[in-house]
A and B are shown apart, each in its own frame.
Chain A
Amino acid sequence: MKAVRIIALKHDRKRLLEHLQDSALIHVKHSDDVQDGFARADTSAQLKQFEKNADLTEKALKILGNVAPEKKGLLDGFKGRREIDADEIGDIAQQAAKIIGICGKICRIDEQITDNIAEQARIRTLTAQLEVWKKLDIPLNTGDTNSMAVFIGTLPKQYDEQLLAETLAEKCPELVFELEVVYSSSNVTSIVVFTPKKQKEQAELTLRSIGFSRPLNPTSKIPLDKAKRLAKKSNDLRDKKDDLREQIANYADYRDAIRDTQDYFEMRAEKYRVISELDQTEHVFVLNGYIPEQDCGKLEEICQKVPSAIIEFEEAGDDAPVKLKNNKFAEPAQSASPSKEDIDPTPVLAFFFYWFFGMMFSDAGYGLLLVIGTAIGLKILKPDKSMRNNLKLFQYCGISTVIWGLVFGSFFGDAPAVFWNTFTGSNVTMKQLMPWMLDTQKDALFIMIMSIAFGLVHVLVGMGCKFYVCFRQKKYAEAFFDTGLWMLLLTGLAVLAAGMAFGQILTYIGAGIAIACAVGLILTQGRSKKGIFGKLIGGVASLYDITSYVSDLLSYSRLMALGLTTGVMAQVFNMLSTLFGTSVFGIICMAVVFIVGHAVTIGLNVLGSYVHTMRLQYVEMFSKFYEGGGKPFEPFSAKTKNFKIKNTDE
């Protein structure tokens, strides 16, 4: 990694930055200190505008997606970005204003739809309130006539006309009345009652005694008419809403253009973010950044296109970002951002990732499917870099899966044997077909020991990395005492365990090494403590760490458990699929059960294997040496989602 400084005249700024953004070579240094005599340009206003536009396009796209969903193939998510020429950016820029206008329109129409929906909800509430009155053909606030008192209101119980008349007569025998029930349900009854005006107070009291209440906001409209009007209004609103949606859907053709515009504004926003990091004078600007050593030549070439630019390289300081560089085999598994002191763990990690994944997924048939599927994906979809790495990761995992599938004698579970037996009536086992195989069920114990042995190797490699890092930094005490002794101790214990199986001598050797290392640990681990007792106690206490190593190692038994899970699930579905016999109907059922069953098995176990491999890497191995916290190298580039400019994405 080199530090680089580019100095150029201000009127070349735009051109230079565009070249740099297209080439994605430089990591621009972020710093808050401005050198004397320089100033920073305030680009926040423009930035805000670009971001606002980008947000607007995002919103418009979301609305379009809701109203007129895009037809998407199942695999479209894997596809790479569309490639365009650098010149096309100009066209997009010209269109930008128009497209932003369209986005604005879409958003406004959407607001109208929101209002429309709110209005419809309001009408629904009104209609519901009106429900009990909708058969009434006089206004709710109808007052008394010259001789008659009118009562319009509700009772909190169910009545029909006869029952109500009887109730009223019982409460007040001398009351003369005429009544009509407008609406009645289990907990409310709407009534209209007419009485002579002179009996008004009496009637009021009688009615109140059975819970009569007048409507809260009586209107002068006739409820029947009002209900009709509301229904019509609601219909109109619905039509209006469909119409508005139609209008939005008409803009669906602009979807790609909107996406391009979004990318365009994101690009410009990125550029202006960089401009705000530049130290500038009236005529000159200075850009500070970092660049990988092998790219220096390319950068010089680019700067030659801009006549006024001068480049200086110097050695990068401690705060330089880290760019990982891995070969094809290891790159897909690259996921860490190590600090400058760490070593890049990727190559080691990659090997174990493939190895463990294969052991857990462990089926030759499934492995083949993974290899073929990812190969087709890579060929047809031409995905972007990160997706390509993901597919490649699974491709290598697939190869490892095939190998382990052969070791464990599993090809779609025990499918070959089962189907041979079903159709010929013979009685072969997978063991006869693949005599070399390890049976995951019968040899479970052996496979578990093997898993833990792999775990030991994995952990030792992790500690080896730590040893190497400490050694390189000349922290010899940490390297030899803190890491080396533990590595030896674990090896000693492993030899001891092997001795139990193979012979006494190994037991003695293993025990000897382990004890010697334990003594060494007691003597050295307390070295930072004060006083002879402090040192001794610190040393003895450190031996307690053995529990964490043991639990780490036991954790690797999942390799065996998950491998077995895949095998047994496959076996279950094979058995189920043969239950239907060998008639034509039976064979159809067999095919269906077989395909569905194995699809489920693959789905669940790919997930399980992936998750548990990640865990073994991160929890068991990384913790042994990884410090992390490094700044990843993030070049100044066009961070677009939709298109990519040709020849720049490598």
Chain B
Amino acid sequence: MGMIFTILGIAVATVLAGIGSVKGVGAAAQASMGVLSEDSSMFGKMLVLTLLPGTQGLYGFIVGFLMLIYAGVLGGGDVVTWQQGLAYLGASLAIGIGGLVSGIAQGRAAVAGIGLCAKDDKNFSKAMVSVTLVEIYALFAFIVSLLTVISVPAIKF
């Protein structure tokens, strides 16, 4: 029973956060290709701005991976109680939902940043810093998920 919740949690963390990044990066990539069709020398800058909303998916993946290790899904060794399984599922919600929403929002910011950069590429660092302002909330979600996951095995239920 615990294992089922855990695996559900792994899926939630990886997939929800992944969807956030997919939407964000997708939107940013579309916008940046519009710019590149006019001026292909901007590729490097566009790449940076496009990749920025990609981190949410990465955080989700890392939380998922740590759960694989800590709950022993890979080794098949430890027994996960149902309380622990639910705890893993709960931990995954933070980065899952946080990553989903912040990924989409950061994607929108990245699209605007790409527009700014296309007008004058001197604005690049301003655009970059502004887009990362969104990132901190994904990071907070990530840290909470992470700290929970690594302390679940030690918690007495």
A275 at the B interface (CB under 8 A): no
Q: List 5 A-B contacts (CB under 8 A).
A: A448-B143, A555-B136, A604-B58, A611-B128, A612-B135
User: A557 and B150 in contact (CB under 8 A), knowing A607-B51, A615-B132?
Assistant: no
Q: How far, in whole Å, are A441 and B133 apart by their CA atoms in the complex?
A: 25
Q: How far, in whole Å, are A260 and B144 apart by their CA atoms in the complex?
A: 57
CB distance from A123 to the nearest CB of B (A): 26
B129 at the A interface (CB under 8 A): yes
Contact in complex: A569, B62 (CB < 8 Å)? yes
Number of residues of chain B lying within 8 A (CB) of chain A: 24
B5 at the A interface (CB under 8 A): no
Q: Mark A588-628, 1 if CB is under 8 A from B, else 0.
A: 00000000000000001001100110110011000000000
Q: Which residue on chain A has the smallest CB distance to residue B51? A: A607
Contact in complex: B132, A612 (CB < 8 Å)? yes
Q: Mark A564-579, 1 if CB is under 8 A from B, else 0.
A: 1100110010000000
A415 at the B interface (CB under 8 A): no
List of A residues within 8 angstroms of B62 by Cβ: 564-565, 568-569
Q: How far, in whole Å, are A441 and B69 apart by their CA atoms in the complex?
A: 12
> Which of A565, A611, A614 neighbours the largest number of chain B CB atoms within 10 Å of its CB?
A611
Number of residues of chain A lying within 8 A (CB) of chain B: 26
**Chain B, 57-106, CB within 8 A of any chain A CB:** 58-59, 62, 65-66
List of A residues within 8 angstroms of B150 by Cβ: 441-442, 444
List of A residues within 8 angstroms of B142 by Cβ: 561
> Which of B128, B140, B142, B143 neighbours the largest number of chain A CB atoms within 10 Å of its CB?
B143
Contact in complex: A611, B143 (CB < 8 Å)? no
A210 at the B interface (CB under 8 A): no
Given contacts A444-B146, A445-B147, A568-B62, 20 further A-B contacts (CB under 8 A): A335-B125, A444-B147, A555-B136, A557-B139, A557-B143, A558-B136, A561-B59, A561-B143, A564-B146, A569-B62, A572-B65, A604-B51, A604-B54, A604-B58, A607-B48, A608-B55, A611-B128, A614-B129, A614-B132, A615-B129
List of B residues within 8 angstroms of A614 by Cβ: 125, 128-129, 132
A47 at the B interface (CB under 8 A): no
**Chain B, 121-137, CB within 8 A of any chain A CB:** 125, 128-129, 132-133, 135-136
Q: How far, in whole Å, are A618 and B125 apart by their CA atoms in the complex?
A: 10
**Chain B residues in the interface with A (C-beta under 8 A):** 48, 51-52, 54-55, 58-59, 62, 65-66, 125, 128-129, 132-133, 135-136, 139-140, 142-143, 146-147, 150
Which 6 pairs show the lowest CB-CB distances between chains A and B?
A615-B132, A568-B62, A618-B129, A561-B139, A558-B139, A615-B129
Q: How far, in whole Å, are A120 and B143 apart by their CA atoms in the complex?
A: 60
Q: Which residue on chain B has the smallest CB distance to residue A608? A: B55
List of B residues within 8 angstroms of A554 by Cβ: 140
Q: How far, in whole Å, are A555 and B133 apart by their CA atoms in the complex?
A: 10
List of B residues within 8 angstroms of A335 by Cβ: 125
List of A residues within 8 angstroms of B125 by Cβ: 335, 614, 618
Q: How far, in whole Å, are A611 and B55 apart by their CA atoms in the complex?
A: 12
List of A residues within 8 angstroms of B140 by Cβ: 554, 557
Q: How far, in whole Å, are A300 and B146 apart by their CA atoms in the complex?
A: 65
Q: Which residue on chain A has the smallest CB distance to residue B132? A: A615
CB distance from B74 to the nearest CB of A (A): 8
Q: Which residue on chain B has the smallest CB distance to residue A439? A: B150
List of B residues within 8 angstroms of A441 by Cβ: 66, 150
List of A residues within 8 angstroms of B136 by Cβ: 555, 558
Q: A560 is contacted by which of B52, B59, B143 (Cβ under 8 Å)?
A: B143
CB distance from A17 to the nearest CB of B (A): 28
List of B residues within 8 angstroms of A615 by Cβ: 129, 132-133, 135
Q: How far, in whole Å, are A568 and B150 apart by their CA atoms in the complex?
A: 13
Q: Which residue on chain B has the smallest CB distance to residue A65? A: B40
CB distance from B38 to the nearest CB of A (A): 12
**Chain A, 438-471, CB within 8 A of any chain B CB:** 441-442, 444-445, 448
List of A residues within 8 angstroms of B147 by Cβ: 444-445, 448
List of B residues within 8 angstroms of A611 by Cβ: 48, 52, 128, 132
List of B residues within 8 angstroms of A564 by Cβ: 62, 146
List of B residues within 8 angstroms of A572 by Cβ: 65
Contact in complex: B135, A568 (CB < 8 Å)? no
List of B residues within 8 angstroms of A442 by Cβ: 150
Contact in complex: B65, A568 (CB < 8 Å)? yes
Q: Which residue on chain B has the smallest CB distance to residue A568? A: B62
Q: Which residue on chain A has the smallest CB distance to residue B131? A: A611
Contact in complex: B132, A561 (CB < 8 Å)? no
List of B residues within 8 angstroms of A560 by Cβ: 143
Contact in complex: B58, A565 (CB < 8 Å)? yes
CB distance from A223 to the nearest CB of B (A): 39
Q: How far, in whole Å, are A462 and B59 apart by their CA atoms in the complex?
A: 30
Q: How far, in whole Å, are A569 and B58 apart by their CA atoms in the complex?
A: 9
Contact in complex: B58, A561 (CB < 8 Å)? no
Q: Which residue on chain A has the smallest CB distance to residue B128? A: A611
List of A residues within 8 angstroms of B129 by Cβ: 614-615, 618-619
CB distance from B98 to the nearest CB of A (A): 12
CB distance from A499 to the nearest CB of B (A): 23
